[in-house]
């Protein structure tokens, strides 16, 4: 009867230190932005299009929630506690953490070839068939590609590129367009979006898209091996146990 040797732990590098640090800083900043942003929205849960927007202006979107200001007509007979002070301060601070972290990740991704090697699909993958096959695997319960389960497939790569190069720049742009001091120096920041209220509305909608991405991302990590992927994102390496005869 063959005797099995002790379990051999094989470590393989998965994520660099820069990727891990920027990943977790972005996550912390994003959670802070969601909490503080939610409190800011409660102060006036109505969204407009154009430069001006107030209770006398027809809203584009009305959230069915009570406000923290009694001057905002919501249909409720009470107001929420006003947390507008600390929430705006936290939102501002967390936004700068996210922006600086994003810049560091962007510079690293270009200089190190991280984007080219990990995120940009190969030319042969830019086909409808590649998307269709990947979607079919998802529907059959296969959540990752590659022998090690760490490779990014075409759907993941496209999603990450869209978040990094479209949603993140747009959320920063619209955030700056809502700042009176910034738009006074660079008025085109808001005018190109249709006005400050348009920027606020776009900012709100993009925030929901980023929240959706976060939920799907966490779900995918859980389905493809939560402990294994969390370990790799924390320490940078994966652990694989093998029994050798």
pLDDT tens for residues 95-142?
A: 999 999 999 999 999 999 888 888 887 776 666 676 676 666 665 555
Fold of 8-242: Fumarate Reductase Cytochrome B subunit (1.20.950)
The residue among 49 and 136 whose pLDDT is bigger is 49
What's the rounded Cα separation, in Å, for the pair 222 and 244? 29
Enter the pTM of the model: 0.83
Q: Are strands 61-62 and 237-242 parallel, antiparallel or unpaired?
A: unpaired
Q: How confident is the model at residue 147 (pLDDT cuts 50, 70, 90)?
A: very low
pLDDT given for residue 140 in this prediction? 54
In terms of Cβ atoms closer than 10 Å to its own Cβ (0-12, 13-18, 19+), residue 224 is middle
Give pLDDT, residue 3: 45
The domains of the chain are located at 8-242
Go through the chain and tell me how many residues it has. Answer: 245
Q: How far apart, in whole angstroms, are the C-alpha atoms of residue 18 and residue 111?
A: 12
Tens digits of per-residue pLDDT, 66-98? 999 988 988 888 899 989 899 999 999 999 999
Residue 9: is its pLDDT beyond 50?
Answer: no
Query: Which helix (H) or strand (E) covers residue 92, if one does?
Result: helix 84-112
Q: How far apart are CA 47 and CA 59, in angstroms?
A: 6
HSE-up of 141 (CA within 13 Å, CB side)? 0
pLDDT at 209: 97
Minimal CA–CA distance to 181: which of 196, 168, 194, 169?
A: 196
Where helices occur in 163-240 by DSSP H, the ranges are 168-177, 180-185, 188-191, 196-223, 226-235
Q: Kind of pairing, strands 61-62 and 46-47?
A: antiparallel
d(CA 44, CA 57): 13
pLDDT at residue 161 tops 50:
yes
pLDDT of 156: 81
CB 45 within 8 A of CB 67: yes
230 falls in which pLDDT band (50, 70, 90)? confident
If you average pLDDT over every residue of the chain, what do you get? 84
pLDDT at 135: 66
Please list the alpha-helical segments (H only) found in 12-74: 17-43
Question: CA-CA distance, 94 to 52, in Å (whole number)?
Answer: 26
């Amino acid at each position: 009867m063959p005797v099995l040797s002790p379990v051999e732990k094989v470590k393989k590098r998965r994520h660099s230190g820069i990727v891990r640090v920027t990943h977790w800083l972005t996550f912390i900043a994003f959670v802070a932005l969601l909490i503080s942003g939610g409190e800011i929205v409660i102060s006036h849960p109505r969204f407009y299009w154009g430069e001006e927007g107030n209770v006398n202006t027809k809203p584009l979107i009305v959230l069915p929630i009570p406000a923290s200001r009694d001057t905002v007509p919501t249909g409720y007979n009470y107001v929420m506690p006003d947390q507008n002070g600390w929430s705006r301060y936290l939102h501002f601070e967390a936004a700068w953490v996210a922006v600086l972290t994003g810049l560091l990740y962007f510079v690293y991704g270009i200089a190190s070839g991280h984007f080219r090697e990990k995120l940009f699909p190969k030319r042969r993958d830019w086909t409808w068939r590649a998307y269709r096959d990947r979607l079919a695997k998802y529907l059959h319960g296969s959540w990752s590609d590659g022998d090690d389960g760490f490779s990014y497939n075409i759907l993941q790569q496209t999603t990450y590129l869209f978040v990094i190069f479209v949603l993140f720049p747009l959320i920063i742009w619209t955030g700056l367009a809502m700042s009176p001091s910034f738009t006074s120096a660079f008025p085109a920041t808001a005018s190109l979006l249709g006005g400050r209220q348009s920027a606020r509305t776009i900012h709100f909608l993009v925030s929901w898209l980023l929240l959706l991405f976060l939920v799907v991302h966490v779900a995918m990590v859980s389905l493809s091996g939560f402990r294994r992927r969390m370990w790799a994102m924390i320490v940078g390496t994966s652990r694989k146990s093998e029994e050798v005869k």
